[in-house]
């Protein structure tokens, strides 16, 4: 297997554990033996458990000697909750290490230099862009800024409406797009809505599998706003934990979630507007359906723009067809 294919396999494995490792990064590792065949694969276990490299090495056994380790993040060089991966790689006598992204965590960094000093061939930046925009996007943001990564997700008609004139909004996008949203919920570690959405839609805000059953891992549900919600609201049921934050200030919300890494904001239009005005959205995921609704109910209210010169500028960083719909990913320009 060539190195890029091995890195793609490592990425795939890391995607599979995304959401289960925070505050640690979801990392994937593949060990190729000296013939270039896959000898072992691994991905980060929940905090306190082994790192990706250690699991992959364990599975490879003696076939790791003289082989190549392919990892999505620079192997760590520190005793944290677990011993350094660099030690495990040296003990297994791999002759080469290939990784995508340099570890920005100053405590864990330095693995590449130590491996090179020990005579291991080290190659950095293989598929780095894919990894940093994909499985490690939220964790890298948290490392850089100290704040959780906030994604605003919404579904809209092609003319920017989130409901028809009578308020009905089930369902704008297709089943395929809704399944994609549930996948996002499963990997997020918090989902935020406003009290307005709780009053209007009474959502459960759980991550569900395609057959409607609850996923085995549920994100924290967060309700934001100053109004009291009913004790009967579905968002307070036993399916998952719920945090009520009595403020309408997005910055306070982000501060209250400072121990989280991947936060999903699920609207509605007022809360989304407040977050956009406050500049605390790091990514927009728009699910756009090929329908026209017209009318007064837009996906977002006031974003603080009165004139085109002051428009908020974003940049598309991904466009994917999902069933009959399109998913647009945007980042600040």
Binding-site residues for NADP(+): 155, 169, 171, 197, 201, 268-274
Pick from 10, 67, 94, 103: which binds ligand AOF (CB under 6 A)?
A: 103
**Which of ligand AOF, Zn ion, none sits in contact with 44, Cβ below 5 to 8 A by type?**
ligand AOF
Is residue 82 close enough to count as binding ligand AOF by CB under 6 A? yes
Which entry of 12, 15, 45, 53 is annotated as an active-site residue?
Answer: 53
Active site residue 45: no
Spell out, one character per residue from 160 to 189, where the chain touches ligand AOF: x when CB under 6 A holds, - when not.
Answer: ------------------------------
Query: Which residue among 19, 40, 67, 75 contacts ligand AOF (CB under 6 A)?
Result: 75
Distance of CA 129 to the CA centre of its chain: 15
CB neighbour burial string for 279-313, b if at least 16 within 10 angstroms, e if fewer: ebbbbbbbbbbeeebeeebbbbeeeeeeeeeeeee
12-51 binders of ligand AOF (CB under 6 A): 24-25, 27, 44, 51
Phi, psi of 296, rounded to the nearest 5 degrees: -90, -10
Angle at CA 233, nearest 5°, toward 182 and 162? Answer: 50
Peptide bond just before 171 cis, omega within 30 deg: yes
Options 11, 30, 38, 85; binder of ligand AOF; rule CB under 6 A: 85
Q: What residues are designated binding site for substrate?
A: 185, 205, 208, 266
Q: Does 108 bind ligand AOF (CB under 6 A)?
A: yes
Q: Please say whether the dihedral angle defined by the alpha carbons of residues 125, 130, 133 and 135, taken in this order, is positive or negative.
A: negative
| Greatest Cα-to-Cα distance within the chain, rounded to the nearest angstrom | 69
Q: How many CB atoms lie within 10 A of CB 83?
A: 14
- Footprint on residues 48-67 left by ligand AOF (CB under 6 A): 51-53
Q: How far is the CB of 118 from ligand AOF (least distance, A)?
A: 16
- Residue whose C-alpha is closest to residue 288's, from 326, 320, 236, 231: 326
Of the candidate spans 57-65, 73-81, 144-152, 303-311, the one that interacts with ligand AOF by CB under 6 A turns out to be 73-81
**Residue 102, interface with ligand AOF (CB under 6 A)?**
no
Give the C-alpha separation, 111 to 119, whole Å: 13
52 binds, among Zn ion, ligand AOF, none (CB under 5 to 8 A by kind): ligand AOF
Determine the interface stretch with ligand AOF among 81-89, 124-132, 226-234, 252-260 (rule: CB under 6 A). Answer: 81-89
Q: 51 or 178, CB closer to ligand AOF?
A: 51
Using rule CB under 5 A, residue 51 touches Zn ion:
yes
Nearest alpha-carbon partner for 178 in 330, 300, 327: 327
Does 80 contact ligand AOF by CB under 6 A?
Answer: yes
Q: Which residue is nearest to ligand AOF (CB)?
A: 80
209 in Cβ contact with 231 (< 8 Å): no
Using CB atoms within 10 Å of the CB of residue 8, give its burial: 0 to 12 exposed, 13 to 18 middle, 19+ buried: middle
Query: Hey, what are 9's tokens?
Result: 């396999």
Which residue reads 């190659």 in tokens?
Answer: 123
240 lies in the site for ligand AOF, by CB under 6 A = no
User: Which positions lie near ligand AOF, rule CB under 6 A?
Assistant: 24-25, 27, 44, 51-53, 73, 75-76, 80-82, 85, 103, 105, 108
Catalytic residues: 53
């Amino acid at each position: 297997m060539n190195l890029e294919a091995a890195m793609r396999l490592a990425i795939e494995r890391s995607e599979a554990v995304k959401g289960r490792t925070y505050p640690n990064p979801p990392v994937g590792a593949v060990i190729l033996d000296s013939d270039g065949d896959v000898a072992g694969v691994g991905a980060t276990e929940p905090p306190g458990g082994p790192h990706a490299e250690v699991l992959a090495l364990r599975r490879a056994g003696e076939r790791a000697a003289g082989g190549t380790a392919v990892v999505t993040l620079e192997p760590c060089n520190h005793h944290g909750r677990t011993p350094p991966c660099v030690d495990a790689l040296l003990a297994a006598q791999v002759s080469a290490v290939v990784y995508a992204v340099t570890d920005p965590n100053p405590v864990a960094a330095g693995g590449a230099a130590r491996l090179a000093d020990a005579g291991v061939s080290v190659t950095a930046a293989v598929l780095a862009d894919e990894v940093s925009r994909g499985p490690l996007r939220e964790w890298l943001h948290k490392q850089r800024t100290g704040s959780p990564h906030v994604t605003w997700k919404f579904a809209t008609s092609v003319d920017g409406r989130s409901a028809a004139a009578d308020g009905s909004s089930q369902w704008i996008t297709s089943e395929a797009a809704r399944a994609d949203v549930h996948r996002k919920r499963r990997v997020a570690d918090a989902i935020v809505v406003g009290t307005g959405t709780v009053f209007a839609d009474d959502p459960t805000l759980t991550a569900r599998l395609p057959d409607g059953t609850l996923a085995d891992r549920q994100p924290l549900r967060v309700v934001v706003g100053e109004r009291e919600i009913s004790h009967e609201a579905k968002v307070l049921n036993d399916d998952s934990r719920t945090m009520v934050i009595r403020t309408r200030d997005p910055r306070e919300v982000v501060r209250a979630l400072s121990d989280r890494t991947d936060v999903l904001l699920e609207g509605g239009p007022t809360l989304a507007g407040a977050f956009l005005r406050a500049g605390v959205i790091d990514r927009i995921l728009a699910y756009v359906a090929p329908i026209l609704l017209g009318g007064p109910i837009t996906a977002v209210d006031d974003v603080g723009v009165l004139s085109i010169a002051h428009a908020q500028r974003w940049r598309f960083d991904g466009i994917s067809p999902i069933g009959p719909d399109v998913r647009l990913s945007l980042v600040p320009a």
